């Protein structure tokens, strides 16, 4: 089961999602529980991260928050395509969060080693359920080909991977990526998709269409076992969705 929230603009969407994230982290902190969030890369979430930095720097207990990456490109953090580099610039550099709460993927080792290392970091910090780490919240984007995190249509094996993270190659560019696998994403307490823009509207319709389609669209396989799934989108991305 999932909820769909269509907001009238990217700005209002970012404000609404930031508010939901703040509510979740504060509720966790009120019970003195650390909150683990895995953030999406790409371009869509930049506005969300800026709103969190500008409006919630003092309103979210960042000392209770552990920031992880949902996926990462195997490039240095100062590379324009680095997801952590983008998140550091848009959010982390603007909030007071303990260094120990920030968990980038340690790029530099061989991809498989980087994936194993990241799996060990995650497994050493997060509680477990069904033998897998439990994130409190995972933010996901959606590619026009139906990929999410860095699980692309050519890697259906990641849907049932036994690992927490795996190293993959972008099917078009060949770029090395490290990604959370779907069993771990589907083990989260909450998964929020954040999708904007007309270009994504057709894929949003495909993914949310209950009828099983013919192609392998990875985002269709995001279905939390215990947690909630909410699709946050602007009107452009949701133009084919009936409320
Ligand atoms: C990445 C992301 C990826 C992204 C989608 C959408 O590393 O690129 O994690 O899954 O969310 O490709 O990207 P845009 O937001 O740039 O459209």
In ligand 1, the atom with minimum distance to the C-alpha of 42 is 16
Share of the chain above pLDDT 90, in %: 95
Tokens standing for residue 120: 């060990």
169 CB-near residues (< 8 Å, 6+ apart) = 175, 176, 177
* Residue 56 φ/ψ, nearest 5 degrees: -120, 15
Nearest alpha carbon, ligand 1 atom 13: 42
Report the separation in Å between the CA atom of 31 and the middle of ligand 1, taken as the mean of its atom positions.
Answer: 33
> Is the predicted pLDDT of residue 109 greater than 90, yes or no?
no
Report the separation in Å between the CA atom of 64 and the middle of ligand 1, taken as the mean of its atom positions.
Answer: 26
Report the separation in Å between the CA atom of 72 and the middle of ligand 1, taken as the mean of its atom positions.
Answer: 10
pLDDT of residue 211: 77
* Residue 115 φ/ψ, nearest 5 degrees: -65, -45
Burial of 83 (0-12, 13-18, 19+ CB in 10 A): buried
Q: What 8-state DSSP symbol labels residue 93?
A: G
Ligand 1 neighbours by CB, cut-off 6 Å: 40-44, 70-71, 83, 141-143, 147-150
Distance between start and end Cα atoms, the chain: 15
In ligand 1, the atom with minimum distance to the C-alpha of 40 is 9
* Residue 118 φ/ψ, nearest 5 degrees: -65, -40
- At 220-237, the pLDDT tens digits run 999 999 999 999 999 999
pTM recorded for the entire structure = 0.97
Tokens standing for residue 111: 């991809």
Instruction: Say whether 150 sits in a helix, a strand or coil.
Output: coil
Alpha-carbon separation of residue 177 from 64, 105, 115, 149 (angstroms): 28, 10, 9, 9
* Residue 64 φ/ψ, nearest 5 degrees: -100, 5
Instruction: Say whether 50 sits in a helix, a strand or coil.
Output: helix
Q: How many helices (H) and strands (E) does the chain have?
A: 6, 12
Task: Round the average pLDDT of the chain to a whole number and report it.
Answer: 96
pLDDT of residue 188: 98
pLDDT of residue 243: 66
Residue 25, Cβ neighbours under 10 Å: how many?
Answer: 24
Beta bridge partners of 92: none
Determine the Cα–Cα distance for residues 56 and 1; give it in Å rounded to an integer: 30
Nearest alpha carbon, ligand 1 atom 12: 143
Nearest alpha carbon, ligand 1 atom 10: 149
Residue 145, Cβ neighbours under 10 Å: how many?
Answer: 16
pLDDT band at 144 (very low <50, low <70, confident <90, very high): very high
pLDDT of residue 207: 95
Determine the Cα–Cα distance for residues 183 and 11; give it in Å rounded to an integer: 32
Q: What is the mean pLDDT of residues 11-18?
A: 98
pLDDT of residue 212: 75
Determine the Cα–Cα distance for residues 169 and 161; give it in Å rounded to an integer: 16
């Amino acid at each position: 089961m999932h909820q769909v929230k269509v907001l009238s603009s990217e700005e209002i969407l970012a404000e609404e999602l930031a508010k939901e994230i703040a509510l979740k982290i504060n509720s966790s902190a009120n019970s003195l529980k650390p909150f683990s969030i895995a953030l999406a890369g790409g371009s869509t979430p930049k506005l969300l991260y800026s709103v969190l930095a500008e409006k919630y720097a003092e309103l979210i207990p960042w000392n209770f928050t552990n920031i992880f990456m949902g996926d990462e490109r195997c490039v240095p953090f100062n590379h324009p395509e680095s997801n952590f580099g983008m998140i550091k610039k848009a959010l982390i550099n603007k909030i007071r969060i303990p260094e120990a709460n920030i968990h980038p993927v340690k790029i530099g080792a061989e991809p498989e080693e980087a994936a194993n290392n990241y799996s060990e970091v995650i497994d050493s910090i997060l509680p477990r359920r069904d033998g897998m780490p439990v994130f409190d919240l995972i933010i996901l984007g959606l590619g026009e080909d139906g990929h999410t995190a860095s699980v692309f249509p050519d890697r259906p094996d990641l849907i049932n991977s036994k690992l927490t993270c795996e190293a993959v190659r972008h099917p078009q560019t060949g770029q090395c990526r490290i990604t959370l696998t779907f069993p771990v994403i589907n083990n989260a307490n909450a998964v929020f998709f954040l999708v904007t823009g007309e270009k994504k509207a057709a894929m949003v319709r495909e993914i949310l269409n209950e009828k099983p389609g013919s192609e392998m669209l990875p985002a269709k396989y995001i279905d939390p076992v215990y947690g909630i799934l909410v699709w946050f989108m602007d009107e452009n991305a949701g133009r084919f969705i009936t409320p």
